[in-house]
Amino acid sequence: MTASYWQNYIDGAFVDGGAGPLDIENPATGEILARQALADAADIDAAVTAARRCHESGVLSAMRPCDRGRKVHEMGIWISHHADEIAEIHTLDVGKPLWESKKEIAGAVRYFEYYGQMAQSLEGTSIPLGGHYLDFTLLEPYGVSAQIIPWNFPFEIAARSIAAGLATANACVVKTPELAPLSSTYLARAAEAAGLPPGAVNIVCGHGHEAGAALAAHERIDQMVFTGSVETGIKVAAATARNIVPNVLELGGKSAAIIHKDADLDLVIRSVRMGIFLNSGQVCSAMSRALVHASRHDEFVERAAELARSLVVGPGIEHPEFGANMGSMISQKQRDRAENLCARAEKEGARACTGGRKLNREGAFLEPTILDKVEPESEIAKTEVFGPVLSVIKFHDENEAVKIANSTQYGLVGGVFTPDIDLALSTSKRMRGGQIFINEWFAGGVETPFGGYGKSGYGREKGREALRNYVQTKNIAIRLNREQG
Ligand code: NAD
């Protein structure tokens, strides 16, 4: 049974919010699921103050890194013990199939394990300056890490930033998305269960324009990790710039798979399944464009449409196991936006081989959609739909494919399908993107750095590389009285 009212977590206590409770809707039914406390600017200030106090007390940075890392890992262990409960509420909150929620929770657990274990291995360097000096660097936490989370993978994305933030001894203030806040409460409970000190983890839900804007503009945050749209990323970057606060920006994408003439279409179709229909396509790194060699185009379109038609679309709670199923989108507003983009694409000459319409039932459902005959310069080819909509574009040679792939404002990820490794690497190196998948969309893991080129953002999350964004380097140079050999 779902709790009816969910609070924020500030300074080690569950609290109400000054912006009043918000009704949280189950997008698969339109019913009110629960009420969430909403933070106002004063609550954000309280959370930042608590995090600041925690940081300045030295309790996190004085801990031996292996002990701090163990606490981070313990958060993950606690979450894994509550995974079924979290997955169920998550699915009711966001609409994705239950098996996808379980996968998201497992991904979050991996971040706590991975960064927990890594806490003890972050090291500075010593720099030779000749006999009269000893010089070395320390990697110090920024202090207060502010983190703004989107609604599409709210649990996993918050986990990746909290785990990296705590592993490097930062106190975290996490602004969770107002469309999907419920599961994040379990991150607060995990921090409590792991015995983290008050203020080390603060979980606060609020409206973007109110709580999010207050956090980004706050004078006493030291670092910002923002994941969301380009439009909001620009606002956050501008607000943090006024206080010279560095950012990691993980923004949107319009990523292309290049399917060469010798591609194994079985592999390609498996990648289409996950690439554009996972989470109803509401994935920043979704395969939203398939660029297909002209000689394989008809075969590809037929098989992609067959795949799309095979998916059973319905409430996520009915799908506990991986299979041919897809859940609802996050809201009717997002669904209607995606449907309108499809309708305009058809007016511009695209052909919906299948899908493109909302389902004739309650809930935020859109048919899995394959759009063929998409022009590379059309709106649908350039705009992030953030829905289960694959645009298919024909190409004739590698140069043309790369040119089309690189023709959007984004550069998040890309994919290349061919058994010819020389061709795969040559295409990969020419594609503009922070991560290129060869022969399997989403190949990688928590270990692999993730982030964008172009308007997809800057900085990297995931992998060892991400930790560099959570620490600042202090160089210490010692003048020695006696020259050392
Ligand atoms: P969004 O930009 O609308 O919201 C993201 C977060 O920012 C939310 O918590 C929101 O409340 C907050 N926000 C809104 N206005 C704000 C403001 N003025 N100041 C501060 N915070 C504010 O994005 P969304 O709709 O939640 O998520 C979808 C977008 O996120 C897509 O573009 C998607 O591609 C992107 N995304 C990127 C990644 C990545 O890792 N690169 C991952 C997931 C989603």
Residue 250 alpha carbon, nearest atom of ligand 1 = 41
- Structure confidence at residue 375 as a pLDDT band (50, 70, 90): very high
Residue closest by Cα to atom 11 of ligand 1: 208
Could you count the other beta carbons within 10 Å of the beta carbon of residue 92?
25
Q: Does 384 contact ligand 1 (Cβ within 6 A)?
A: yes
So which residues are the catalytic ones?
Answer: 250, 284
Instruction: Answer yes or no: is pLDDT of 372 > 50.
Output: yes
CA–centroid distance, residue 24 to ligand 1 (Å) = 18
Instruction: Answer yes or no: is pLDDT of 144 > 90.
Output: yes
Q: Does 252 contact ligand 1 (Cβ within 6 A)?
A: yes
What pLDDT digit, counting tens, does each position of 163-177 carry?
999 999 999 999 999
Average pLDDT over residues 345-358: 98
Q: Does 237 contact ligand 1 (Cβ within 6 A)?
A: no
CA–centroid distance, residue 452 to ligand 1 (Å) = 15
Give the per-residue pLDDT at 434: 98
What pLDDT digit, counting tens, does each position of 193-227 carry?
999 999 999 999 999 999 999 999 999 999 999 99
Q: Does 433 contact ligand 1 (Cβ within 6 A)?
A: no
Instruction: Answer yes or no: is pLDDT of 249 > 60.
Output: yes
What is the token pair recorded at 379?
């709106």
- Structure confidence at residue 483 as a pLDDT band (50, 70, 90): confident
Residue 231 alpha carbon, nearest atom of ligand 1 = 2
Average pLDDT over residues 456-473: 98
Q: Does 46 contact ligand 1 (Cβ within 6 A)?
A: no
Q: Widest CA span of the chain, in angstroms?
A: 83
- Structure confidence at residue 277 as a pLDDT band (50, 70, 90): very high
Average pLDDT over residues 305-317: 98
- Structure confidence at residue 465 as a pLDDT band (50, 70, 90): very high
Percent of the chain with pLDDT strictly greater than 90: 98
* Residue carrying structure tokens 């649990």: 155
CA–centroid distance, residue 247 to ligand 1 (Å) = 14
Give the per-residue pLDDT at 2: 64
- Structure confidence at residue 389 as a pLDDT band (50, 70, 90): very high
CA–centroid distance, residue 231 to ligand 1 (Å) = 8
CA–centroid distance, residue 219 to ligand 1 (Å) = 21
Q: Does 235 contact ligand 1 (Cβ within 6 A)?
A: yes
The three-state (H, E, C) secondary structure of the chain, written as one string: CCCCEECEEECCEEECCCCCEEEEECCCCCCEEEEEECCCHHHHHHHHHHHHHHHHHCHHHHCCHHHHHHHHHHHHHHHHHCHHHHHHHHHHHHCCCHHHHHHHHHHHHHHHHHHHHHHHHCCCCECCCCCCEEEEEEEEECCEEEEECCCCCHHHHHHHHHHHHHHCCCEEEEEECCCCCHHHHHHHHHHHHCCCCCCCEEEEECCHHHHHHHHHHCCCCCEEEEECCHHHHHHHHHHHHCCCCCEEEECCCCEEEEECCCCCHHHHHHHHHHHHHHHHHCCCCCEEEEEEEHHHHHHHHHHHHHHHHHCEECCHHHCCCCCCEECCCCCHHHHHHHHHHHHHHHHCCCEEEECCCECCCCCCCECCEEEECCCCCCHHHHCCCCCCEEEEEEECCHHHHHHHHCCCCCCCEEEEECCCHHHHHHHHHHCCCCEEEECCCCCCCCCCCECCCHHHEECCECCHHHHHHHEEEEEEEEECCCCCC
CA–centroid distance, residue 224 to ligand 1 (Å) = 13
Distance (Å, rounded) from C-alpha 198 to C-alpha 171?
A: 10
Give the per-residue pLDDT at 28: 98
Residue closest by Cα to atom 39 of ligand 1: 250
Mutate to test the pocket of ligand 1, among 104, 176, 215, 229 (most ligand atoms within 8 A of CB): 229
What pLDDT digit, counting tens, does each position of 57-87 carry?
999 999 999 999 999 999 999 999 999 999 9
Q: Does 236 contact ligand 1 (Cβ within 6 A)?
A: yes
Could you count the other beta carbons within 10 Å of the beta carbon of residue 423?
16
CA–centroid distance, residue 237 to ligand 1 (Å) = 13
Average pLDDT over residues 383-390: 98
- Structure confidence at residue 453 as a pLDDT band (50, 70, 90): very high
Q: Does 113 contact ligand 1 (Cβ within 6 A)?
A: no
**Distance of CA 214 to CAs 178, 200, 207, 208, 242, Å?**
15, 19, 10, 9, 13
Q: Does 152 contact ligand 1 (Cβ within 6 A)?
A: yes
Mutate to test the pocket of ligand 1, among 148, 386, 462 (most ligand atoms within 8 A of CB): 148
Domains and CATH numbers, the chain: 5-250+458-473 (3.40.605.10), 255-443 (3.40.309.10)
Q: Does 227 contact ligand 1 (Cβ within 6 A)?
A: yes
Instruction: Answer yes or no: is pLDDT of 1 > 50.
Output: no
Q: What is the mean pLDDT of the chain?
A: 97
